[in-house]
Amino acid sequence: MVKVIHDKLEAWGINVAIVFTIVGMLLLWLTIRVVNVDPFKMLAFAVAMSPVWLPVVLFFTFVEWWMYYVRKYFNLAQGSTTLEILLPEEIFKSPLAMELALGHLWQTASPDNHIQTYWDGKNPPTFGLEICSIGGTVRFFIHTQVRKYKNIIEAQLYSQYPGIEIRELPVDYTAEIPGGLTGWEVFSMHFGLRKASVYPIKTYVEYGLDKEVEEDFKIDPITQVLDLLGSIGPNERIWIQILITAHQEQTFKRGSLTNIPDWRADIQKEINTLAGRDAKKLGPAELEAQPRLTEGERNVIKALERSYSKIPFNVAIRGLYAAKQEYYLPGERIGAIITAWFQFNDAMLNSFALKWRTDFDWNWWQDPTGRRRRAYKKRELNYYKRRFYDNESQADKKFIMSVEELATIFHFPGKVARTPTLPRIPSARAEAPPNLPTGTM
C-alpha cells in the first residue's frame, strides 16, 4: 500500500520525503493527543536513554561516511583514463568475445583483507562502457582506472579482437562541453528494467549470434543504436554510458555491516516459482501433479538458468543528448534514443524503461522558472564526466545484469553494421604490442 502511494505521489511530481515527514509528524502529534502523554516527558526520556541509542546511531553513521571517504580516496589515487577502441574493417567475432573480455573486469574486484577494506578503501572499480556520437561519428570508449585495470582491458581486448587499435585519449572527449553549459543545451536520461533484475533482456543468444552465421545474414541488435548515433548533425552529440561494477555477496570483509547475498538466490527462487516447485508447501505427489509448462515458460526458465551461470555486474545506464543551442532538437532525438533500446526487449523476459530525465511531467508548477531543470542538466553533465551515478527517485536505481546481457548492449559489430559514420581502420594489427602486460591479479 505504501509503495502504491509512493509511486502515485512521484507520478504527480510531489516530493515524497517531505510528504511522509509531514504525515509522520501529524500521526505522532495525534498519538500524543489521543494517549494524553506529556511530550516533554517523552523528550526527557529519550534524552535520558541517549547513552543507549545514540552510540548505535553514531556508529552506523560513522561507518557509512568513513567507507565513503576511504573508497573515494582510494579511487582517486588510482587515476583514470579513457580508452578509444578503433575497429578494423572486418570483425568476425560474436558478442561472446566481449563477454569473455568483460568477465576479467569482475575477477579483480575483492579486497584481500579487512585492512584493505576499512583502512585503504579498496573496493570494486567502476568501468564506463560508452558508445558516443560526436557530430554523427560513432566512437567506442572504455573509461577505467589507470593502475592495473588499463593493462588488463587492453590485454583482453587485443586477445579477443586482434585487429583493433586502442589509444588513450590525452583529453577526455566530455571536456568539449563546458560545465556551465555556455552555448549548449543538454538532456539526460536514466534507463532501468521494467521487471526484477533476475529476468534478463533479449540477448545475442536469442538473436542467434552465438552460432556461426554469414555476415550478411546476421541480425545484430546493436546496429539500430549505431544507426541512430550516426544520423545526427555535426553540432549535436549523443553519449550512451553504461557504468558497471562487479556484483558480489556483501560481507563484513567487503565493507558491509550486514550480510547481503548476491542475486543467485533470487534467480533460483524465481525459477522454483515459475516451475511450481515449493517443497515446503507441496508433497512429492503434488509436485508431480503440477501442470506442464508452456513453451514460453520453459524458455523463460532456460534464460534464468543461463543468467544463473553467468558473471553479474551492478549496472547504471545513462543517455545524454547535447547540442549547440541553435541546433538543439529534443523533439526528434529524445524519443529516438528511448526507442533505440526496444530491440533488446522481450515481453516474456525483461525490457528497458525510462526511469528518470532532466525534465518534469508538470513543468508549469514543478519548475515554472526552469531553474531546477538547468541545475539538473549541469549536475548530470558533471556526473557523466566523473562516471558517477546517483538515483534520482525510488524507481531510478542501479540494477543487475549478467555479462551476457552487457556483451549484447556493448560489443564491436562486424560488417553487419553498415553505419557509414562508424570509422574503421584500414589495416589490422597482427597481434597486440609485445610490451603489453598481460598478467592478472
Packing angle of the helix pair 50-78, 39-48 (nearest 10 deg): 60
The per-residue DSSP string of 89-139 comes to: S-----THHHHHHHHHHHTT---SSHHIIIII---PPPEEEEEEEETTEEE
* Residue numbers of the domain that contains 388: 82-256+297-425
Query: How sure is the predictor about 241, in pLDDT bands with cuts at 50, 70 and 90?
Result: very high
> How many domains does the chain fold into?
2
pLDDT in tens, 186-203: 999 999 999 999 999 999
Percent of the chain with pLDDT over 90: 51
If asked whether residues 238 and 315 sit together in one domain, one would say yes
- pLDDT tops 70 at residue 429: no
If asked whether residues 330 and 225 sit together in one domain, one would say yes
User: Does a structural domain hold residue 276?
Assistant: no
If asked whether residues 223 and 354 sit together in one domain, one would say yes
Question: Phi first, then psi: what are they for 155, rounded to 5°?
Answer: -60, -45
Query: How sure is the predictor about 5, in pLDDT bands with cuts at 50, 70 and 90?
Result: low
If asked whether residues 327 and 376 sit together in one domain, one would say yes
pLDDT for position 427: 56
- pLDDT tops 90 at residue 178: yes
Least confident of 116-120, 164-168, 286-290: 286-290
User: Does a structural domain hold residue 334?
Assistant: yes
If asked whether residues 27 and 139 sit together in one domain, one would say no
pLDDT in tens, 7-50: 666 666 666 677 778 888 888 778 777 777 777 777 888 888 88
If asked whether residues 27 and 100 sit together in one domain, one would say no
pTM: 0.87
Residue type, 190: H
pLDDT for position 31: 79
User: Does a structural domain hold residue 288?
Assistant: no
Round the average pLDDT of the chain to a whole number and report it.
86
pLDDT in tens, 387-404: 999 887 777 889 999 999
User: Does a structural domain hold residue 432?
Assistant: no
Q: Which three cell numbers stand for residue 127?
A: 568501468
If asked whether residues 87 and 191 sit together in one domain, one would say yes
If asked whether residues 145 and 245 sit together in one domain, one would say yes
Query: How sure is the predictor about 67, in pLDDT bands with cuts at 50, 70 and 90?
Result: very high
User: Does a structural domain hold residue 344?
Assistant: yes
pLDDT for position 440: 47
